[in-house]
Chains A and B, each alone.
Chain A
C-alpha cells in the first residue's frame, strides 16, 4: 500500500500539511505529489536509507533510565514538516522580541529590580523562585544578555494559532538534531531539494560562534571559546561534541579547566595552561562551581564564578539566567513585554493558570481532568500531568501536590496540538508535533530558520520528548512566492 493522501484524515485539529481530506496546503503541494508517486518498495528503500545514514553518522541520543545502554539511534520521520517563509518571518520577529525582553527582565532582576518596584512582577514570586541566584546580583554581562541561547517551544492549537509553550533558557538542547536531520534529508531526497525552495539551516553554528566570540572580555584577540560538557554520559553529549566540532572550539570537561590565583580560567593542554575567554556551558548552574553552588559537584570548575564576576571570562548562558525559565515567570511574559517595550507580544502565550493564586487554583483543582499541569522548574517532559489522559490515581496525586506546593505548579488548557502526516506502517497517519526554534542574542540577535520539529509517535499522544518515545521531523521553511 503506497501513500494515498486522499485517505489521510486530518481530523478536527489543524494539520500542517493537509488542509482538508485530499487537499494539501499550498506549501506542501509538491511534497505530497512526490510521496504519492512512490511505490511500496521505493518507500521502504527510503526508510532504510534514512535509518542506515543515522546509524553510520552515529546520530544518537541517550535515555537515562536505560542503564549502560547509552546509545539509541535518533528517530527521524521521512515526511518533513513545512512552514511558509512568509509565516516564518513573523515567527522570527516574535522569537527575537521575546528573547530581547527576557534578557532585559533578567538583567533588571539582578540589578535594579525596577519591574518589581513598579508592581508588574510580584515580589513573592521572585522570592520563591528556585532558579534565582543571589550570587549573580550586580552583574552586567556583555550587551545585557544573560540568556544567549534560547530554545523556545512553539505549538499550534486546533484553530491554527501559534503559541509559545515554554522558554528554555538554561541549557536548551536539540539544535544539533535540527542540523543533522537536514543533513540526512538532503542526502536522501536530493531531488526534492532541487524542486522545492527550502531555506537552509546550516549557518547556525557559524552564528553561534560569532555570538559567543562577541562576548569575549579580551578584545582585539581571537578569543578562546570552549564548550563545557558534563561528559559522555550526559544525554546531550552528542550535541556538545557536534557543536564544538562545527565551531572549531575545544570540547572541555570541568576537569580540563582550572581557575588560577589571577582569577582567570585556564585549560590544561599538552603544553601547559592556556587562557579561556568564553565558555559555552552545557552544565546546569547547580554544578558549575562547587565553591558557590553544589559542593559535591565534580562536573564544574572550582572558582569559575569568581572568574566570571571579575569579568575575566564570559559564560553563556550566564549563571542565573534560568530565573526566566520558571513556568510561573512564563505566565508573566506578555506583561513583561508590554512593560519593557510597550509592544504587544508577537507570538502569544498559552493561557496559563497560576496555582499560587487562590481563585485560579480553585479552577484548576475543579477542572484537573481537562488541563495540563506542569511543575515550575522541570524540563524534558518530566513530572507532567495530562488531565484528559490521566488515571484517577494520578489526578488524586496531582491534587495533593498542587495543594502542598501551589507556587510550584501551573496549569494550561489541553491544546489539541497540530498534526503532520507521519509514516506509520508504510502509510501516513496524523501525529502531533511541536517546534523548537533556537534564538541567539549577543551583540546581535539571530533565530534559526525553522527549528527542531518533534513528533509524538503514538497515536493521539501529545508528549513529543525524545526521552518519552517521541520522534522528529525535518522542518522545511519554504519559499512559495508572494501570493
Chain B
C-alpha cells in the first residue's frame, strides 16, 4: 500500500469521526441546557473550550459567547478547520484521492454526506432545525462507516482507517470529558445534587454511554464511576481505553509496529493507573491534557513509521 494513500485513508476517517463527534457534542449540550435552571452559568462557550479553539474563536467573534456565534463557528464557519462542514469536506477530499482503493459505494456516500452538509449546515445554526441536522449527519457518517467496514477488504487500508477513527475518537472523548466533567468537579458542592446527577448523566450521554453504563450495573451515577467507565471500559466503543485497545488490535495486523506499540502501551498504562476516586478538577484537566498530548505523539510515531517513506 502506498504511504501517501495510507495517510489519506487515515485522515479521511479522522475527519469523519471528528464531524460525527462534534455533532454528538452539540446535540448533548443543547439537551443539557434545556434541563438546567436558568441561573446556572453554563455557557455555549464551553464547547469552544472542548475543541481547544478559544484563541481563534475570540479573534473571529470578539466578546461573543452567545449560542449563535458558537454554533456558526462549530458548524459552518469555513475559517474553523474543525467545523463540521469543513471536516466533511476534508473527509471527501481525502476520499477523492483514494478513490482507487475505496469501494464505489463509499464514494457515493461521501458525496451524499457532502451535499447534505453543504446544503443544510447553515440552516442548522438556529435551534429549531439543529437536532434534525445533527441526527441526519450522524446517521450519514455511520452509514459511511458501515459501508467502509462492510465492503473494504480487511487489508492494510482497513487498519489505517480504524486507527484513524479510534485515535480521533480517543482524543474527542477526552476533550468532552474534560469540559463536561471538569466543571462538575469544581462546582459539585455548590450544586443541587439533582443537577449534579443530571450533569453526570449528560457527560455519559454526550458520549452515547448512558444506556451502556446503566447496563454495567453501577449503583448510581457519580463522578468516580462515570470517569472510570469512560476511561477504561473496554467494551464500550467510545471509552478512551477501548479506542486504545482497538488501535493495538490494528497494529497486530501490520508490520513494523515496535515504535508505535511502545507509545501505545505507555498510554494504556497511564490510563489504567489513573485513580478516579480522588480526582480533583485540576488533576483531571492535567491528566486529560497529557492524554491529548500522548495522542498527538502516537499520531506522530504512526506518521513517521508508515506515512513517511524511510
- Chain B residues within an 8 Å CB radius of A268: 2-4, 309
B286-310 to A contact mask, C-beta < 8 Å, 1/0 = 0000000000000000000011011
Q: Are B2 and A256 closer than 8 Å at their CB atoms?
A: yes
Chain A residue at smallest Cβ distance from B157: A270
Q: Is A68 an interface residue (CB 8 A)?
A: no
Chain A interface mostly: mixed
A271–B254 Cα distance when bound, in Å, is: 9
* Known contacts A270-B306, A272-B310; A241 and B1 CB within 8 A of each other: no
- Min Cβ gap B98→A in Å is 8
Residues 111 to 127 of chain B near chain A (Cβ within 8 Å): 111-112, 115
A253 CA / B309 CA spacing, docked (Å): 14
A248-269 CB mask vs B (1 if < 8 Å, else 0) is: 0111110110000000000111
Answer whether residue A245 sits at the interface, using C-beta atoms and an 8 A cutoff.
yes
Interface stretch of the complex, out of A52-60, A283-291, A357-365: A52-60
Contact flag A251-B100 (CB < 8 Å), given A256-B4, A270-B1, A270-B3: yes
User: B4 to A241, Cβ gap below 8 A?
Assistant: no
Q: A55-B111, A57-B108, A58-B108 are in contact. Are A267 and B2 (CB under 8 A)?
A: yes
Contacts of B256 in A (CB 8 A): 271
Given contacts A56-B108, A271-B256, contact A245 B100 (CB under 8 A): yes
- Answer whether residue B236 sits at the interface, using C-beta atoms and an 8 A cutoff: no
Is B101 an interface residue when CB atoms closer than 8 A count as contact? Answer: yes
| CB under 8 Å from chain A, chain B span 1-39 | 1-6
Interface membership of A244, Cβ < 8 A: yes
B96 within 8 A of A: yes
Q: Is B267 an interface residue (CB 8 A)?
A: no
Number of chain B residues close to chain A: CB under 8 A: 27
Is the Cβ of B100 less than 8 Å from the Cβ of A269? Answer: no
Identify the interface centre among B2, B100, B108, B307: most chain A CB within 10 Å of its CB: B100
Residue from B93, B96, B110, B156 having most chain A Cβ neighbours under 10 A: B96
Closest Cβ neighbor of A268 among chain B residues: B309
Q: Is B44 an interface residue (CB 8 A)?
A: no
Q: How far is the CA of A268 from the CA of B309 in the complex (A)?
A: 6
CA distance A269 to B305 in the complex (A): 11
The residue of chain B having its C-beta at the shortest distance from the C-beta of A246 within the complex is B100
Which chain B residues in 86-111 approach chain A with CB under 8 Å?
93, 96-97, 99-101, 104, 107-108, 110-111
* Nearest A-chain residue to B115, judged by Cβ: A55
Question: Which residues does chain A contribute within 8 Å of B6, judged by CB atoms?
Answer: 270
Question: Across the interface, do A58 and B310 meet the contact criterion of CB distance under 8 Å?
Answer: no
A353 on the B face (CB < 8 A) = no
Q: A255-B4, A256-B4 are in contact. Are A241 and B99 (CB under 8 A)?
A: yes
Give 1 or 0 for each of B241-255: 1 = CB within 8 Å of chain A CB.
000000000000011
Q: Are B108 and A227 in contact (CB under 8 A)?
A: no
Q: Which residue of B lies closest to A240 (CB)?
A: B100
- Given A227-B100, A232-B96, A271-B112 contact (CB < 8 Å): no
- Docked CA distance A245–B5 (Å): 13
Which A residues are in CB contact (< 8 Å) with B306?
Answer: 270
Partner of B1, one of A57, A244, A245, A269: A269
Complex Cα gap A448–B156 (Å): 35
**Does A242 lie at the interface of the complex (its beta carbon under 8 Å from any beta carbon of B)?**
yes
Distance between Cα atoms of A242 and B112 in the complex (Å): 18
Q: Which residue of the partner chain, among A57, A253, A272, contacts B4 with CB atoms under 8 Å?
A: A253
Contact B99 A269 (CB under 8 A): no
Assembled-state Cα–Cα distance A392/B188 (Å):
85
Residues of A within 8 A of B310 (CB): 272
User: Smallest distance from the beta carbon of A359 to chain B beta carbons, Å?
Assistant: 52
- Contact status A271-B2, CB under 8 Å: no
Q: Which residues of B contact A269 (CB under 8 A)?
A: 1-3
Q: B100 contacts A56, CB within 8 Å?
A: no
Interface contact B111-A270, CB-CB below 8 Å:
no
B-facing residues in A169-193 (Cβ within 8 Å): none
For residue B7, which residue of chain A has the nearest CB?
A270
Interface residues in A48-84 by Cβ distance below 8 A to B read: 55-58
A-B contact pairs, 15 of them (CB 8 A): A57-B104, A58-B96, A227-B100, A241-B96, A245-B99, A245-B100, A250-B2, A250-B5, A250-B100, A256-B2, A269-B2, A270-B2, A270-B307, A271-B256, A273-B309
Nearest 8 Cβ contacts at the A-B interface: A244-B100, A268-B309, A241-B99, A251-B100, A245-B100, A270-B306, A58-B111, A241-B100
Besides A241-B99, A256-B2, A256-B3, 15 more A-B contacts (Cβ < 8 Å) are: A55-B115, A56-B115, A57-B107, A58-B108, A227-B100, A241-B96, A245-B99, A245-B104, A250-B2, A252-B2, A268-B2, A270-B156, A270-B254, A272-B310, A273-B309
